[in-house]
């Protein structure tokens, strides 16, 4: 069950809101936990026992870390048990097929392929639990005394599938207080609707175009058609993922919780360094705080700093999927970030801003080719097509047809990928004039109606981050 579905919008969510708001304060976490179990069981009931077993182990290890606060070795042991268990689950479910396949390729076969199915959201859930164990060990937070509360935290349905990665310290007090107000409900609903519009009206439309071009169903190829396709995917992955994050953050506000922001208009960046400060913010912060800094960060000389950057970005890529293209994708960014850090950014302010934006956007668009194609030969073929190395024309009738047909939505996607509309919307929502506020409210109603109309009439409604 995805947020952008009729089942969720008209059955699951309204029923949960009613139950949650009428439930006594002491039972709200129970309602949220049961709702999360129903939500997850809708598609992955087989993984629920593993999730619950890990929650018990993480809770007990954290409590023991607090109990033996003066015994450093015991605290470290319990932290390692918790972290190791979550990493073990992640490695088993997500990477066993990859490791076996590569080992067979090296030794010439012989090991049966297990074909383990990837549980939905395992990457996000594992990283969230690991952050809790390490934070308790470091003393950043105390362990949660109520297993009931911890279970609610570790199974929260708004972010369990695709983030943002929510640390326990972020929602610790919300799990006790449940400060439900008309303002939080209103803000959460508006944020959810904006995310729904991003996903349904923009990501789905440009995603359909990308599916046609990437599979060869768009007709005779040309250089222009290849660029139209990857630009469509560039918009799709941003509006799909940031739209989901908006919906998750909005749902959290509706239920009295506060999640961290996950995107900050990354396509307005003027460097790749800036891009990664704006893209998937909670993942970048996780690797910084739990991998890069513990390895020494930038405090141990240039050679070790280079090593740390390469390791962290290889892991960042590998976290996204069990395939070599994700590792290459991570290393691609590592190399660019290293060049920027030690060379480019020293004189970057002297470069015209428009050239900075073009530089960043071209490198970002190229990165999505690496990210998308798990088949390295298909990736190479697409790159050859993009750069005219495949004996195809610069443009043709098919390319012009798709450019004209999708030109408007490309312009709208580019506009909404900037903060201009958000600033205008905030100004309108803060207006004291009643006609303006009524107009804004009607705009949200129209947005919801447009999304529902699309969902009812279209069968194309993928969610990219299910595979991560």
Measured at the CA of 177, the angle between CA 171 and CA 259, to 5 degrees, comes to 25
- 210, 229 Cβ separation under 8 angstroms: yes
The phi-psi region of residue 181 (left if phi > 0; otherwise alpha if psi is between -120 and 50; otherwise beta) is: beta
Find the DSSP H helices in 109-203: 122-138, 147-154, 168-171, 174-177, 182-197
Calpha distance 26→20 (Å, rounded): 11
pLDDT at 226: 95
The tens place of each residue's pLDDT in the chain, 468 residues long, gives 788 888 999 999 999 999 999 998 888 889 999 999 898 888 777 788 888 889 999 999 999 998 888 888 999 999 999 999 999 999 998 888 888 888 888 887 778 878 777 777 788 889 999 999 999 999 888 898 888 889 989 888 888 777 799 999 888 888 887 778 888 899 999 999 999 999 999 999 999 999 999 988 878 899 999 999 999 999 999 999 999 999 999 999 999 898 999 999 999 999 999 999 999 999 999 999 999 999 988 888 888 889 999 999 999 999 998 899 999 999 999 999 999 999 988 888 899 999 999 999 999 999 999 999 999 999 999 999 999 888 888 989 989 999 999 999 999 999 999 999 999 888 888 876 888 888 888 999 999 999 999 888 876 766 666 555
Distance in angstroms (rounded) separating the CA atoms of residues 324 and 380: 14
Separation CA 425–CA 191 (nearest Å): 12
Distance CA 235, CA 408 (A): 13
pLDDT at 366: 97
- Here the tokens at position 49 are 């026992």
Over residues 17-60, the pLDDT tens digits come to: 999 999 988 888 899 999 998 988 887 777 888 888 899 999 99
The answer to whether residue 320 is catalytic is yes
Here the tokens at position 423 are 């600033």
User: 79-116 as b/e, with b when 16 or more CB fall inside 10 Å?
Assistant: bebbbebbeebbeebbbbbbebeeeeeeeeeeeeeeee
Phi, psi of 314 (to 5 degrees): -65, -45
Q: Rounded to 5 degrees, what are φ and ψ at 438?
A: -65, -40
Q: Is the dihedral of CA 158, 163, 164, 168 positive or negative?
A: positive
Check 71, 320, 357, 391 and give the catalytic one: 320
pLDDT tens string 167-212: 998 888 888 877 788 888 999 999 999 999 999 999 999 999 999 9
DSSP 284-338: HHHHIIIIITTTTTTSS-HHHHHHHHHHHHHHHHHHH-SSHHHHHHHHHHHHHHH
């Amino acid at each position: 069950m995805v947020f952008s579905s009729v089942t969720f919008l008209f059955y699951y969510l309204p029923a949960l809101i009613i139950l949650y708001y009428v439930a006594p304060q002491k039972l709200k976490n129970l309602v949220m936990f049961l709702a999360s179990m129903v939500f997850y069981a809708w598609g992955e009931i087989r993984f629920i026992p593993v999730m619950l077993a890990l929650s018990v182990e993480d809770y007990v290890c954290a409590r023991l870390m607090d109990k033996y606060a003066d015994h450093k070795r015991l605290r470290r042991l319990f932290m390692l048990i918790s972290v190791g268990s979550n990493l073990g689950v992640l490695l088993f479910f997500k990477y066993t097929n990859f490791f076996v396949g590569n080992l067979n390729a090296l030794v010439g076969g012989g090991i049966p392929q297990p074909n383990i199915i990837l549980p939905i959201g395992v990457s996000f859930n594992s990283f969230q639990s690991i952050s809790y164990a390490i934070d308790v060990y470091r003393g950043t937070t105390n362990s949660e005394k109520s297993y009931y509360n911890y279970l609610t935290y570790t199974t929260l349905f708004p972010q369990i599938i695709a983030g943002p990665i929510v640390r326990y310290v972020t929602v610790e007090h919300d799990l006790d207080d449940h400060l439900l107000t008309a303002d939080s409900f209103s803000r959460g609903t508006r944020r959810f609707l904006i995310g729904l519009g991003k996903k349904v009206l923009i990501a789905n439309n440009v995603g359909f175009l990308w599916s046609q071009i990437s599979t060869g169903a768009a007709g005779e190829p040309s250089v222009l058609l290849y660029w139209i396709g990857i630009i469509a995917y560039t918009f799709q992955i941003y509006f799909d993922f940031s739209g989901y994050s908006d919906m998750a953050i909005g749902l959290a506000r509706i239920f009295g919780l506060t999640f961290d922001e996950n995107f900050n208009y990354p396509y307005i960046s003027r460097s790749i360094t800036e891009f990664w400060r704006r893209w998937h913010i909670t993942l970048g912060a996780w690797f910084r705080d739990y991998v890069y800094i513990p390895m020494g960060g930038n405090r141990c000389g240039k050679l070790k700093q280079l090593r740390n950057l390469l390791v962290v970005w290889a892991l960042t890529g590998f976290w996204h999927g069990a395939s070599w293209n994700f590792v290459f994708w991570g290393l691609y960014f590592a190399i660019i970030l290293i060049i920027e850090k030690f060379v480019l950014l020293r004189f970057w302010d002297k470069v015209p801003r428009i050239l900075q934006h073009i530089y960043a956007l071209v490198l970002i668009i190229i990165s999505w080719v690496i990210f998308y194609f798990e088949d390295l030969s298909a990736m190479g073929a697409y790159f050859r097509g993009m750069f005219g190395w495949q004996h195809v024309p610069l443009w043709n009738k098919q390319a012009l047809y798709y450019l004209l047909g999708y030109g408007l939505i490309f312009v709208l996607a580019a506009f909404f990928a900037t903060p201009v509309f958000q600033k205008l919307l905030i100004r309108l929502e803060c207006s004291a004039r009643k006609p303006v506020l009524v107009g804004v409210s009607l705009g949200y109603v129209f947005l919801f109606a447009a999304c529902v109309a699309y969902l009812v009439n279209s069968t194309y409604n993928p969610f990219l981050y299910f595979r991560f």
